[in-house]
Amino acid sequence: MGEGALVGRVAYGAAGLLALALLTACSAGGPDREDPEGVTTGGAGARGASTSFSPQDKAADVPTDQPVVVAVHGGRLKSVRVDGGGSGPLPGVLSADGSRWRSNATARPGTSYTVTAVSVDAAGKESRETSTFTTVKAKETFDIKTITPNKDDTGLTVGIGMPIMIAFDKPVTDRVSVERNLIVRSSKPVEGAWHWFDDQHVDFRPQEYWPARTKVRVEARLAGVRGGPGMYGKRDVTVDFKIGRAQITKGSTDEHVLIVRRDGKKIRSMPMSAGQGGQWKYYTTSGIHLAMSREPVTVMTSPGIGPGQPGYYQLTVYNTVRISNSGEYVHSAPWSVGSQGHANVSHGCVNISPDNAAWFIKNTLIGDPIIITGSPRKLEPTNGWGHWQENWKQWLKWSSLKGGPTLGL
């Protein structure tokens, strides 16, 4: 993967809230009575305060993203609790004047909820009223298959270019409902947005690189969220990670050198050799790449050429940093040291010396930008993590909610 903090739409607002449904009075008639705790139950007409509930009492097939609203007239609410059995209570917020309570989370599908409201009238008398409703049943559920960054694949300290990438186990058609429940929080506020590559992949990036040393939290509040007709989220997922120092590597296929800058200061210059060209596949792509993996050993084979065919090769390479899905790496190449700094002789990778490659793999974080210029072949936004190849307007085109500032952490 990688909100203040953007909500998952970008931080896109309170999870799962829709417009308020019409309030319906659900207080019982008849005389007041005292329960063992001394709280009056029922008899709204016999006292100054009355309570209204939405959804109305005994409502069925209630959408999971419809908020629960409790309002009191002629008094103030002391407490509201919405219990859903094994799913636990539904959280909510009480208005400043105590007149209205509203849930701020998504209910679970196929669940019976009991709403218990305790109010106090102008005379100080407490009353308790209850209402029940049942949410729509789910025909199927969907889940997060992978979320990146993560501890195993990237580590939890990543580079300033790191996107947050979520893959779902089933196609999502209600993108708005899902995106508004993807919350991004950050210790330093950024403008950012989610971007749908297809129905099973949605990624988030800031408008500009992450500020160095920012803490980030992703809250995928998807339990009960509608993902399509009859399909609802299975669970909530939270991931915390940190942005490391600001390191950017730039190289030119014309000048044959890689320059590494950390927090704005040049820390290393490395002679390089890029793709030799001739065939399109043998050009190194120009653009903003990200470090996708660090591999001590990589076995490379010729693209599109099988054993026995002219030009076929299979080569074991050491200290490699992957920068695209089309087979491009920055790696150790002792066989081309004589050309490094002078000529392009590779099949598309960026060749550097063994000493420089050992240093580079050790000093690179996953998500560090590695920017290559000079080649006629451009990096496609979908070739690996080419997220920064799209400008902000292009990125927002595939966002359902169009972005905004991250929430605070």
Distance CA 332, CA 352 (A): 5
Number of domains in the chain: 2
What one-character-per-residue DSSP string does 269-333 give? EEE-B-B--SSGGGSPPBEEEE--EEEEEEEEE-TT--TTSTT--EEEEEEEEE--SSS-EEEE-
pLDDT of residue 39 exceeding 80, the answer is no
Residue at a domain's end among 119, 135, 151: 135
Residue at a domain's end among 110, 135, 160: 135
Segment 377-396 mean pLDDT:
97
Distance CA 101, CA 191 (A): 31
Q: Which residues are catalytic?
A: 331, 349
Q: Which of 82-96, 218-232, 267-281 has the lowest mean pLDDT?
A: 82-96
Model pLDDT, residue 19: 34
Q: Which of 2-11, 129-138, 285-294, 396-405 has the lowest mean pLDDT?
A: 2-11
Distance CA 264, CA 247 (A): 8
Distance CA 235, CA 251 (A): 43
Confidence of residue 11 (pLDDT cuts 50, 70, 90): very low
Q: What are phi and psi of 280, to 5 degrees?
A: -55, -40
Model pLDDT, residue 313: 80
Model pLDDT, residue 303: 74
Segment 110-114 mean pLDDT:
95
Q: Residue 102 forms beta bridges with which residues?
A: 69, 93
CATH of the domain at 276: 2.40.440.10
Containing 123, the helix (H) or strand (E) segment is none
CATH of the domain at 65: 2.60.40.3780
Q: Is residue 298 part of a domain?
A: yes
Q: Are strands 215-221 and 236-243 parallel, antiparallel or unpaired?
A: antiparallel
Output 76 or 10, whichever has higher pLDDT.
76
Output 279 or 271, whichever has higher pLDDT.
271
Model pLDDT, residue 85: 75
Segment 267-283 mean pLDDT:
95
Q: Is residue 64 part of a domain?
A: yes
Residue 254 shares a structural domain with residue 382: yes
Residue 251 shares a structural domain with residue 131: no
- Cα angle: 29, vertex 34, 36; to 5 degrees: 140
In a 3-state reduction of DSSP, which class is residue 108? coil
**Helix, strand, coil abundance in the chain, percent, nearest 5:** 10, 45, 50
Q: Identify the CA nearest to 7 among candidates 284, 406, 286, 278.
A: 406
pLDDT of residue 38 exceeding 90, the answer is no
The first and second tokens of residue 362, run together, are 């050790």
Q: Is residue 178 part of a domain?
A: no
Distance CA 30, CA 7 (A): 47
In this predicted model, what pLDDT tens digit does every residue of 136-181 receive, in sequence order?
Answer: 999 999 999 999 999 999 999 999 999 999 999 999 999 999 999 9
In this predicted model, what pLDDT tens digit does every residue of 183-199 receive, in sequence order?
Answer: 999 999 999 999 999 99
31 upstream amide cis, omega within 30 of 0: no
- Residues above pLDDT 70, as percent of the chain: 89
Confidence of residue 21 (pLDDT cuts 50, 70, 90): very low
Confidence of residue 88 (pLDDT cuts 50, 70, 90): confident
Q: Is residue 215 part of a domain?
A: no
Residue 258 shares a structural domain with residue 380: yes
Q: Is residue 395 part of a domain?
A: no
State how far the alpha carbon of 262 is from the alpha carbons of 198, 357, 368, in Å.
35, 17, 10
Distance CA 103, CA 90 (A): 7
Q: In terms of residue numbers, what domain contains 46?
A: 24-135
The rounded mean pLDDT for the chain is: 89
Please check whether residue 294 is in contact with residue 279, taking contact to mean a CB–CB distance below 8 angstroms: no
Model pLDDT, residue 49: 84
| pTM of the predicted model as reported, rounded to 2 decimal places | 0.83
Model pLDDT, residue 301: 83
Q: Is residue 75 part of a domain?
A: yes
Q: Is residue 265 part of a domain?
A: yes
Model pLDDT, residue 7: 37
Model pLDDT, residue 356: 98
Number of residues assigned to the chain: 409
Please check whether residue 273 is in contact with residue 356, taking contact to mean a CB–CB distance below 8 angstroms: no
Query: What residue has token string 């160095």?
Result: 212
Residue at a domain's end among 81, 111, 135: 135
Long-range interactions of 97-101: CB distance < 8 A, separation 24+:
98/72, 99/71, 99/72, 99/73, 100/69, 100/70, 100/71, 100/72, 101/68, 101/69, 101/70, 101/71, 101/77
In a 3-state reduction of DSSP, which class is residue 177? helix
Segment 60-72 mean pLDDT:
96
Model pLDDT, residue 13: 36
Distance CA 400, CA 354 (A): 46
Output 299 or 311, whichever has higher pLDDT.
299
Confidence of residue 86 (pLDDT cuts 50, 70, 90): confident
Distance CA 273, CA 256 (A): 6
Q: Residue 89 forms beta bridges with which residues?
A: 83
Q: Which of 5-9, 82-86, 384-388 has the lowest mean pLDDT?
A: 5-9
Q: Identify the CA nearest to 70 among candidates 49, 39, 96, 101.
A: 101
Model pLDDT, residue 47: 53
Residue 251 shares a structural domain with residue 126: no
Model pLDDT, residue 45: 41
Q: Is residue 231 part of a domain?
A: no
Output 393 or 310, whichever has higher pLDDT.
393
Confidence of residue 305 (pLDDT cuts 50, 70, 90): confident
- Cα angle: 116, vertex 121, 122; to 5 degrees: 160
State how far the alpha carbon of 238 is from the alpha carbons of 142, 146, 175, 204, in Å.
16, 12, 19, 15
